[in-house]
């Protein structure tokens, strides 16, 4: 697939799942639905709306099936859900999601803490879920995101060879895509360029999204570095919510509002209306009163005379 600077980017909003999983208070289902409605109204085309995990482990996601059903009322969007295992995948497919995402950590320590399986065991979980998907819902996409691809607070350094080998194994096991996640905010732009270049050389069109965290202030710089290497799908979270509860020190995702502004200011089309995106913060804040939200662009406003890419 040929990618030029004029190729539009896909902003994949992960706030309703990744953003909420690390928030202590539980957002009401009705508030989640209003938030999703506002994101769709802004032009967001892909939303990770929930994770299918035991409610005892993550009460915030106890309403996953209901939220998925609501999101499916909207046409023209991809409704995604995270699934850590076959049971979660069964429930997500039953709910009708368009895409499954799986967390496959390159760090053994993080993988054991997060899903209680080694990276190699998670590859076999990918295989089992791919077979399940093929049997009952062959149109559903499966993405295996490589967590802690740039380092881990539990393990420390993560070998780049291990990351690339793991991504290739996930594709061989039946995943449609495999992207790279900076779960704990360790990445720098040079590292991002190097690793995504290797990923694209290894798995080609199966190379997936860049999922960056802004823990150390390099989120946007790392997204731009990934874009330079041909990445055209980026995960982000409205208001910068998010972080992995099983990775100490992992703070928020890249702010969707700032990411969209950066690309639109560069003349790269996102299909998202910035003013409406800023307005989508209102239902988020109403549903999580007192929870801090972040973002430079919505605070400063759009520059005088600013026009979005068309």
**Residue numbers annotated as active site:** 244
Neighbouring CB atoms inside 10 A of 83's CB total 26
Query: And the tokens for 134?
Result: 């093929």
Ranges of H-type helices in the chain:
29-42, 64-71, 86-95, 108-115, 119-136, 160-172, 189-203, 219-228, 256-265, 274-279, 281-287, 296-300
Cβ–Cβ under 8 Å, residues 99 and 140: yes
Regarding beta strands 207-211 and 233-236, do their DSSP bridges make them parallel or antiparallel, or are they unpaired? parallel
The DSSP code for 31 is H
C-alpha 222/C-alpha 107 separation (Å) is 20
Residue 218: partners with Cβ closer than 8 Å, 6 or more residues away: 185, 187, 188, 189, 212
Cβ–Cβ under 8 Å, residues 143 and 179: yes
Length in residues, the chain = 310
Chain-centroid distance, C-alpha 21: 12
Q: Closest Cα partner for 116 from 126, 105, 127?
A: 105
């Amino acid at each position: 697939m040929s990618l030029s600077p004029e190729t539009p980017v896909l902003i994949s909003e992960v706030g309703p799942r990744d953003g909420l999983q690390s928030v202590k208070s539980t957002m009401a289902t009705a508030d989640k639905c209003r938030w999703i409605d506002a994101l769709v109204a802004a032009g967001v085309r892909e939303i990770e709306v929930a994770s299918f995990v035991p409610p005892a482990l993550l009460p915030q996601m106890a309403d996953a099936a209901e939220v998925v059903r609501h999101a499916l009322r909207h046409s023209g969007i991809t409704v995604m859900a995270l699934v850590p295992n076959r049971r979660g995948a069964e429930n997500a497919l039953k709910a009708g999601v368009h895409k499954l995402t799986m967390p496959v950590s390159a760090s053994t320590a993080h993988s054991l803490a997060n899903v209680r399986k080694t990276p190699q065991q998670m590859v076999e979980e990918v295989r089992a879920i791919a077979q399940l998907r093929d049997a009952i819902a062959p149109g559903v996409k499966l993405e295996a995101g490589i967590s802690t691809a740039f380092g881990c607070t539990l393990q420390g350094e993560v070998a780049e060879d291990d990351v690339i080998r793991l991504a290739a194994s996930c594709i061989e096991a039946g995943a449609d895509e495999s992207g790279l996640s900076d779960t704990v905010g360790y990445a720098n732009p040079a590292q991002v360029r190097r690793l995504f270049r290797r990923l694209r050389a290894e798995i080609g069109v199966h190379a997936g999204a860049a999922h960056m965290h802004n823990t150390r202030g390099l989120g946007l710089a790392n997204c731009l570095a990934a874009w330079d290497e041909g990445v055209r799908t980026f995960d982000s979270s409205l208001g910068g919510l998010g972080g992995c509860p099983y990775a100490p020190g992992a703070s928020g995702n890249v702010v969707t509002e700032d990411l969209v502004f950066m690309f639109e200011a560069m003349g790269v089309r996102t299909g998202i209306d910035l003013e409406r995106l800023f307005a989508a913060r209102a239902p988020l804040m109403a549903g999580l009163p007192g929870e801090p939200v972040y973002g430079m662009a919505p605070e400063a406003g759009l520059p005088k005379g600013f026009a979005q890419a068309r």
